[in-house]
Amino acid sequence: MDEVTIKVQGMTCGGCVRSVTGVLKGLTGVEDAQVSLEAAEARVRFDPGKVTVDSMRAAVEGAGFDAPA
Ligand code: 9UX
């Protein structure tokens, strides 16, 4: 299992945090996601054989937030 921290910009309340958490945890291969509003980032534990960091960023962006590299 790998771990990565990705930037997540545009979250403004706890609902946003729940949305981003759900989107990340909904990806096959994502084991856990801890999203911080204050830090504007998500720490994700994942199986690199099943999911890529790029696909995590794409999923976050698809939910309406920014996930810069
Ligand atoms: Mo809060 Mo975020 O009312 O998508 S849920 S701003």
pLDDT tens per residue across span 9-65: 999 999 999 999 999 999 999 999 999 999 999 999 999 999 999 999 999 999 999
SS (H, E, C) 12-28: CCHHHHHHHHHHHHCCC
Tokens coding 46: 């994942």
Calculate how far, in angstroms, residue 65's C-alpha sits from the geometric centre of ligand 1: 11
| Residues 65 and 32 sit within 8 Å (Cβ to Cβ) | no
Q: Which atom of ligand 1 is nearest to the CA of 63?
A: 4
Residue 41 lies inside a defined structural domain of this protein: yes
CATH number at residue 12: 3.30.70.100
Residue 43 lies inside a defined structural domain of this protein: yes
Task: Tell me how far apart the terminal alpha carbons of the chain are, to the nearest angstrom.
Answer: 21
Q: Which atom of ligand 1 is nearest to the CA of 11?
A: 2
Q: Which domain holds residue 20?
A: 2-62
Calculate how far, in angstroms, residue 48's C-alpha sits from the geometric centre of ligand 1: 30
| Residues 46 and 30 sit within 8 Å (Cβ to Cβ) | yes
Total domains in the chain come to: 1
- pTM exceeding the 0.85 threshold for the entire prediction: yes
Residue 68 lies inside a defined structural domain of this protein: no
